[in-house]
Amino acid sequence: MAQLVRATVTTDPISIIELRALVGDESCGAVVTFTGDVRNHDNGKAVATLTYEIHPTAPDQIKVIAQSVVDSCDIVKAAVVHRYGAIPIGETAFAVAVSAHHRQSAFDACSALVDEIKAKLPIWKYQRFMDGTDEWVNTA
């Protein structure tokens, strides 16, 4: 049975090295990691600042969403963290680490975790652009 070793939202910087260590297991031949980093552009516009806002249920929801994916995958361990608050350009906003006996299972689980959390976690991105405009993303 797969183990979800971490599923959190935080204002602290995310360390993919720490997540990778959490999912490490001697029985596993594969560890797959993903980081979603804050980029300096979006839709052809230069991004000045980015802030993520969360719903009060987000700390519980990330656990529920991640556990649902983990339960459906052939993996050993998984860890997911999404950051919120103001995040500087270039820093990690979202990270996933998965270990499995075989690589395809690890790739599949990592991709599924990223997709499900992006689709279901109640978190919204607010961007300010260098041209003075701004926008909210994922608010519909």
What integer pLDDT is reported at residue 139 of this predicted model? 61
Q: Are residues 3 and 77 in contact, defined by beta-carbon separation less than 8 angstroms?
A: yes
What integer pLDDT is reported at residue 93 of this predicted model? 98
Q: End-to-end distance of the chain based on CA atoms, in angstroms?
A: 36
pLDDT digits 0-9 by tens, 69-108 = 999 999 999 999 999 999 999 999 999 999 999 999 999 9
Q: Are residues 58 and 9 in contact, defined by beta-carbon separation less than 8 angstroms?
A: yes
Domain boundaries, the chain: 3-133
Considering the segment(s) 3-133 as one domain, its CATH architecture is Alpha-Beta Complex (3.90)
What pTM, to 2 d.p., does this model score? 0.95
Q: Which parts of the chain sit beneath pLDDT 50?
A: none
What integer pLDDT is reported at residue 37 of this predicted model? 98
